[in-house]
Amino acid sequence: MDTALITQEASLPITNSTSAAGPLVRVFNRIFTRHLMNAALLLVVPLIFAQPLRQPIELLRDPDLWWHLADARILCATHHFIRAEPYSFTVAGQRWVNPEWLSEIPYWLGYRAFDLSGIYLVTWLALSANVLLLYWRGYWKTGHTGAAFWAACIGFALMTVNSGPRTIIVAYLALSAELAILEALERGKTRAAWFLPPLFSVWINLHGSWLIGLGLLALYILCGAFGFSKGVFEQPARSTDDQKRLLYVLAASLGALLLNPYGWRMVWNPFDMMLNQKLNIANAEEWQPLHLDWFVGKVALAAIAIMLLANFLRGRKWKLYEIAFIFFAWYAAFDHVRFAFLAAVIITPFLTADMVRSFCAHSDAKTIPGMNALMAACAIWMMVHIVPGEAELRKDLSMLFPRQTIAMLDPSWRTFNAVNLGGIMAFDSKASYIDSRLDTFEHHGILASYLDVMRVRRPSEVLDRDRIDHVLFPEHTPLAYLLERMPGWRVEEREGAGDDTYVLFGRR
């Protein structure tokens, strides 16, 4: 009797504790998964390794940012799209197409809501969304969280070539979405193809990179049109119904490109860049080849080496479109450094699969929820302490641009300005000679004239021809040195310090 009572009493607390703790433990384990830990850590990666986020002064230095904000401000204030040049007196009134109007809006909304901190947050969130999509696509392809995490980190290292407040990082989300749809098709989810036309209807308004996405779609369709089996290549022919569906999707995607406020001119824009903007491409650093002594060049070599070694250790059969995508990605990256970001978006899932097949054969399904929670908490702590405050950002901005000098510019003046000042002048509603929207300036000969003056080739001829009465230029440049010693010019204002000192010259 006593033994039975003791046994019954001893069992009651255990049963109650289990019933109470069981659901809590299950909820805790379900929340604090390895995916949550990896996602939290990947949110920290841009804050540490993207220079514009690590050093916010570099984020605010981006010359494109300020005219993008000015564009979005006009659109939100007037509810009309910009169709004629609004900023520069040299091409005033000329037709202008804004191919990135939709991707400018998040930056403007961030700025309106949180001032400079909003620009920082939107940039961080856009970069984080890109790297999280790389992780998700790598995991979706392999089911291995560890390999997906490290491949996404390598991918983000390639992304650092364009890690500032750029509209293209918003557009690369569309590229990831397209590739995710194609990867779904490879898993037999054929209806996913119909998401592509709506995607292109949005993408055309984000950035001219839609042309790359359309090319990849056409290449994917072409590679599946016939069967091919030889050596490491194993490409089964796509069924007639599937091929017809994809051709209909391609046609619908082409039609969707016209869903933009500028019609065929928006569609022509990336072709115009390739065919008619030779000076722009030749003089912009991001259009130069990728050098192997750069950090991104070393990362690209490391990624290629991992893929080659993985396939040497344990090869596999390749589909034609996979080889075509990888070859295109690396060719584009080494031809133009800005496309290292593009390479990251394309190759990261393939890199994940190679790592799993040759280096991570064991499963990583087991996890420790408590450790996941600790790592996620550490990541959140780092986010809170790394993100700069508004006062710090305002101080950085005051060091970058001669805002007081720009404020004193008279609307009637014809000021020849450094190209990096054109954006902030547009944002401050001051007429400029040129800004970093080099397309329109190249079309009308202004970019060629600017380069001549900047390199001190016939500067007096250009300044006289364009009736320039003021010049705002960095102090430590050949043009500033020349004007300071020319009898027809005088120094009216100096602002800044060190390499960021600007001089305003006026005609005597």
Q: Tell me whether residue 340 is in a domain.
A: yes
Report if residue 317 sits inside a domain: yes
Residue with tokens 């190249």: 442
In which domain, by residue range, is 356 found? 97-140+159-361
Give the model's pLDDT for residue 21.
59
Rounded to 5 degrees, what are φ and ψ at 41? -65, -40
- Computed over every residue of the chain, the mean pLDDT equals 90
Mean pLDDT score, 133-158: 94
Asked if residue 154 belongs to a domain, the reply is no
Position 9 pLDDT exceeds 60: no
Q: Give the lowest-confidence range in 13-27, 66-80, 125-139, 367-381.
A: 13-27
* pLDDT computed for residue 361 by the predictor: 66
Residue 435 contacts residue 419 (beta carbons within 8 Å)? yes
| C-alpha to C-alpha distance for 55 and 332, rounded to whole angstroms | 28
Q: Are residues 285 and 412 in the same domain?
A: no
- H-run or E-run covering 234: strand 233-235
Residue-level pLDDT at 174: 97
Average pLDDT over residues 155-168: 94
Structure confidence at residue 24 as a pLDDT band (50, 70, 90): confident
Could you tell me if residue 357 is inside a domain? yes
**SS3 category, 24:** helix
State the Cα–Cα distance between residues 152 and 139, nearest whole angstrom: 10
Cβ-Cβ contacts under 8 Å for 77 (sequence gap 6 or more): none
For 91-105, the pLDDT digits (tens) are: 999 999 999 999 999
The answer to whether 62 touches 78, Cβ cutoff 8 Å, is no
> Quick check: 1 pLDDT over 80?
no
Residue 366, in any domain of the structure? no
Final residue in a domain of this structure, among 361, 394, 412: 361
Sign of dihedral through CA atoms 343, 59, 415, 67? Answer: positive
Phi first, then psi: what are they for 91, rounded to 5°? -125, 30
Asked whether residue 190 is assigned to any structural domain, the reply reads yes
pLDDT at res. 10: 40
What's the one-letter identity of residue 130?
N
Judgement on whether residues 353 and 425 belong to the same structural domain of the protein = no
If you search the block for the tokens 């890690």, which residue do you land on? 163
Same domain, 169 and 257: yes
Do both 102 and 205 map to the same domain? yes
- What ranges make up the beta strands (E) of 436-484? 470-474
Q: What are the tokens at 26?
A: 């299950």
Query: How, if at all, do strands 502-507 and 489-495 pair?
Result: antiparallel
Distance between CA atoms of residues 314 and 318, nearest Å: 13
Tokens of 464: 């006289």
Q: Looking at the structure, do residues 220 and 332 belong to the same domain, yes or no?
A: yes
| Residue 179 · residue 172 · CB < 8 Å | no
pLDDT tens for 302-336 read: 999 999 999 998 888 889 999 999 999 999 999 99
Confidence of residue 3 (pLDDT cuts 50, 70, 90): very low
Same domain, 242 and 357: yes
Residues facing residue 95 across a β-bridge: 84
Virtual torsion, Cα 51, 53, 54, 57, nearest 10 deg: 80
Nearest to 333 by CA among 134, 159, 492, 141: 159
Q: What is the DSSP letter of 96?
A: -
CATH number reported for the structural domain that contains residue 449 in this entry: 3.40.190
Number of domains in the chain: 3
